[in-house]
Structure 1
Amino acid sequence: MNPTALIPILVVEDSVEDFTALSRAFHKNAVTNPVLRCEDGDQALEYLKGYGKHPNWPSQLPVIILLDLNMPGTDGRAVLNVLKNDPALHSIPVIVFTTSSNSTDIAECYRLGANSYLTKPIGYPELEEKVRLIIRYWLEASELPLAG
C-alpha cells in the first residue's frame, strides 16, 4: 500500500466551482487521499501552521498542496513564501495550480520555491487529465517525505 494514501491533499482555492471540479477529477482517478479545501491563503496558513491544534483540521500535514495564486486577502504568492521559509513546512511539495500563464508569475513562483507550476485547463476532460498526471507523478512516482 502507498504510505501516503491516507495523508490529505490540500487544495487552496477560492472558487467553489474549481474546487468541485478538482474534487471530482481526484475521485474519478480513484485517489484515496482525503482532499481538503482552504478557501483562501489565511485559512491555509492557519491550518498549516497550527495543524492538530484546531478540531476542524486534520492532525497531519498534507502530502501535497495545490495552490491557487489569485485569491482575496493573502494570495498564493504570500502563502508560498511563508511555506518555503518555514522549516516545518518547506518540504511539502507545492504545486501552483492557477489560471495565470503569465511568465512573470511563473518566474516569481519558482523563485519563491514552488515545486511545480501548472495552468488550469478550461475544459473538464483536460482538467481530469492534468489531475491524472499530478497523481501519477506526485503520488505514485515521487518519493515524498512523510510529514507530521
Structure 2
Amino acid sequence: MKALKILLIEDDMIEIMKLNRAVSSLKLDHKIIETNNGEDALTFLEKKEELPDIILLDLNMPKINGIEFLSILKKDDVLKYIPTIILTTSSNQKDLLECYRIGIAGYVLKPLKYEEYVSKIEKLLAYWSINELKNI
C-alpha cells in the first residue's frame, strides 16, 4: 500500500494526538502534516510545494470553518482535485448535504470510543492508499 501525505486540518490538539496515535498504533507509514485552522491550511496549500494526497478536515473550527475552507479550495484549479474527507463530530444533515454539494470525497463521523475511531481511520486510510490518486 502506498504511503500517503495527509493534511490534517483540526483545531483540537486531542484530536490531532488521537489521529497520530491511531496511525502509529496501526504501524502505517503515512506522513501527517498538521494545521490548526483553515487559514493555515490554505497558506500551506497555496505554496503548492508539497501537496497532500488527501485532506482530513474538521468542520467546526475558528477563523474559517470547514465549509468555508472547502468553498475556497474548490475554486482553485489545482487544489480542487485533492480528495477531501470530512472528519467530524457533526451529524448535522445540513452540513453533510452542503459538503457533498461543494464536492467532498467522504464524510466520516468521529466515534466516541477510541477502538471504533482506530477502526474507521484504518479503513479510511487503507482505501485511499490503494486508490489511484492523480498526481497533481
Normalised to the residue count of structure 2, the TM-score between the two structures is 0.95
Q: Deviations over 1:52-91 (max 9, x none)?
A: xxxxxxx310010000001010111111111112111111
Structure 2 distance, partners of 1:84, 1:26, is: 27
2:99 paired residue number: 109
Q: Indicate the residue corresponding to 1:145 in structure 2.
A: 134
Name 2:125's counterpart in structure 1: 135
Q: Deviations over 1:12-51 (max 9, x none)?
A: 0000000100111111222212111100010000001124
Match of 1:48 in 2: 45
Give the Å deviation of 1:125: 0.4
User: What is the percent sequence identity of the aligned residues?
Assistant: 40
Give SS of 1:14's match.
coil
Equivalent residue, structure 2, for 1:124: 114
Where does residue 14 of structure 1 map in the other structure? 11
Among 38, 45, 58, the residue aligned to 2:35:
38
TM-score using structure 1 length: 0.87
2:24 — aligned with what?
A: 27
Question: 2:73 — aligned with what?
Answer: 83
Q: Which runs of 4+ in 1 moved over 2 A?
A: none
Count of aligned pairs: 136
Over aligned residues, Cα RMSD in angstroms?
A: 1.2
Provide the C-alpha distance between the structure 1 equivalents of 2:20 and 2:134, rounded to a whole number of angstroms: 24
Q: Which string of whole-angstrom CA distances, capped at 9 and with x for unpartnered residues, describes residues 74-114 of structure 1?
A: 11111111111211111110001110001000000001111
Structure 1 distance, partners of 2:65, 2:28, is 27
